[in-house]
Homo-oligomer: A and B are copies of this chain.
Amino acid sequence: MANGPGEAVPDGLIEAFWRYDDALLSNDQGTLSALFAPGPHTLRGDGANLLTGHDAITAFRSGRTRIPTRLVESVHARILGEDVALLMARTRDDSAVGLQTQLWQRIDGRWLIVAAHVSLPAASDPFDRSVWRVVGDPLVEATSPGPLNGLRVAVKDLYAVAGQRIGAGVPAWLAEQSVVDTTALAVAALLGAGAEIVGIARTDEFAYSLAGTNVHYGSPPNPAVPGGISGGSSSGPASAVALGQAEIGLGTDPAGSIRVPASYQGLVGIRTTHDAISRDGLLPLAPSFDTVGWLTRDVATSAAVARVLLPDSLLRPHRTMRVPMIEALARADLKLGKTVERLAAADALPPVEHLELAADLLEQWFTAFRTVQGWQAWQAHGAWLSAHPGSLGSDIAGRFAIAARITEAEMTAATEVVAQAREQLTAWLQDTVLVIPSAAGPALSRNATADQVDTERSSTLHMTCLAALCGAPAVSLPVLRSAGNPVGLCLISAPGTDRGLLELAQTVQSAC
């Protein structure tokens, strides 16, 4: 230990430092917590976050796995008095170095950390494998200049990109794929408008999840909610955009796969009208619901993409629009009521009205949606999955197993309910924009149990299935919060009104 001029290291400090370091390596959370000073003024920061208060630090730590083993190479001390010292410890593992700065104070005879700043060893991967599969500078150049000049696209690993394979979030699938010759139409259109592809970004396995917790490649980071899941299935494109590594995350949204990660990460996400944009070159999950969409950091960029991918004819002004509320879905702590009040007070917006949607009817629709989606998903992937047992994580494998057992009779009955739902929703959307939360709540912790994730998925699907049921466009706006974390507000309008919906979204965001 190197200390400053004429400074003797006070008794017990070195011992406390090493006790803390041992606890770090063994992830002994009790000891770690005990060695941080109690109270709301204790600080702990790294490159990504600064946490204030003992409780926040303990909560952060509980959501973390053991840190990689590394050596403390040297410790430097600045002794600031009998009871105060700053320690800076240089750490090293196989591939990288790190730095830990700790301000220690002796409080009631015990040495405690009152402030800490950590730089973890740099990853030894050249890029974040949980976000990307392949990246380049760029990976694919724009084919002509255009309105999207300079914008970088993260392409969900479900779209065909010439020279690449489609990985679909499943290593065993990827291993059998050939490089494709032709780029998906939606991707080609972006390249033709000046955008470039920065990389192929991760997806949940076959896009059949809303969590983003791919068992093979890990859960991409959610910079808006440290320790939170990314949301999925367009998990990689969402995180890439949230991290500033792409401006456009091109995804798909059969039942929330864009709106949910947008909601969890504070992004703007749009699912477009079903069949409005060609799905040519897109690996299907459930073709009746699969649709192209994208995530951006702001509405303006989302609208710029819409102008490229959606024909002019789809731009219809919502002259007689109302903004109703689906009471059954509102969560108290989202303060939806307050938001609606603000929307109602905005001159530029149409009047706000409530809309009754009976809980049992919604339940019936949701069940029918899930049945038809499951049936189609099994049609799309059942043969391959049967030939490749064990290639999926247990959550998504379980979902496919249920899908495999859906009978033709169940599917036929569900299809009828879906048709009824479509009729009712389409009627409402003639002169109405539906306003609901984009997800049941904010991003769960990465340590949530499988049951918690499944329950949250089911609640969220009750909301996200509405746009899917009638093939309507839906935009998620980052304007709600729950427990300090972002939740999206979802606007749903009539099929074919995508560009008008994005104009409205801009006004709604300004009013919130």
Contact = CB atoms under 8 A, between A and B. Distances in A.
Interface of A: 2-5, 39, 41, 43, 45-50, 52, 74, 76, 78, 80-81, 84, 86, 88, 90, 94-99, 101, 103, 105, 114-115, 117, 119-122, 124-129, 131-137, 139, 141, 163, 175, 179, 198-199, 217, 240, 243-246
Contacts of A199: 126
Given A96-B244, A115-B78, A244-B94, A45 B88 contact: yes
A99 B245 contact: no
B4 A90 contact: no
Given A41-B78, A47-B122, A134-B135, 13 more contacts: A2-B52, A3-B41, A4-B41, A5-B39, A5-B41, A46-B119, A47-B98, A78-B103, A81-B81, A84-B84, A117-B117, A127-B135, A135-B136
Given A76-B50, A80-B84, A127-B127, A45 B95 contact: no
A115 B179 CA distance: 53
Given A5-B39, A47-B99, A78-B41, A119 B122 contact: no
Contacts of A39: 5
Contact of A78 (B114, B125, B135, B137): B114
B131 A137 contact: no
Nearest to A171: B137
Contact of A133 (B98, B133, B136): B136
Given A5-B39, A41-B5, A125 B80 contact: no
Nearest to A41: B4
A101 B243 CA distance: 23
A50 B78 contact: no
Identical subunits present: 2
Which 9 A-B residue pairs are closest in the complex by CB-CB distance?
Answer: A95-B244, A47-B119, A124-B244, A134-B136, A4-B41, A127-B127, A101-B117, A126-B245, A45-B99
A133 B135 CA distance: 9
B52 A76 contact: yes
Contacts of A131: 126
A194 B187 CA distance: 34
A48 B95 CA distance: 11
29 contacts: A4-B114, A45-B119, A46-B99, A47-B98, A47-B99, A47-B119, A52-B76, A76-B115, A80-B84, A81-B81, A86-B115, A88-B117, A95-B244, A96-B244, A99-B117, A117-B117, A119-B119, A125-B245, A126-B131, A126-B198, A126-B199, A127-B137, A129-B137, A132-B137, A133-B136, A134-B134, A135-B135, A141-B175, A163-B163
A436 B199 CA distance: 44
Contacts of A217: 137
A199 B133 CA distance: 12
Nearest to A74: B50
Nearest to A116: B101
A34 B92 CA distance: 31
A90 B50 CA distance: 7
Contacts of A245: 124-126
Nearest to A94: B244
Given A46-B99, A88-B45, A137-B129, A179 B198 contact: no
A132 B95 CA distance: 18
A115 B2 CA distance: 13
A97 B94 CA distance: 27
A94 B223 CA distance: 13
A134 B48 CA distance: 26
A63 B134 CA distance: 33
Contacts of A125: 137, 245
Contacts of A246: 126
Contacts of A4: 41, 114
Contacts of A124: 243-245
A68 to B, nearest CB: 12
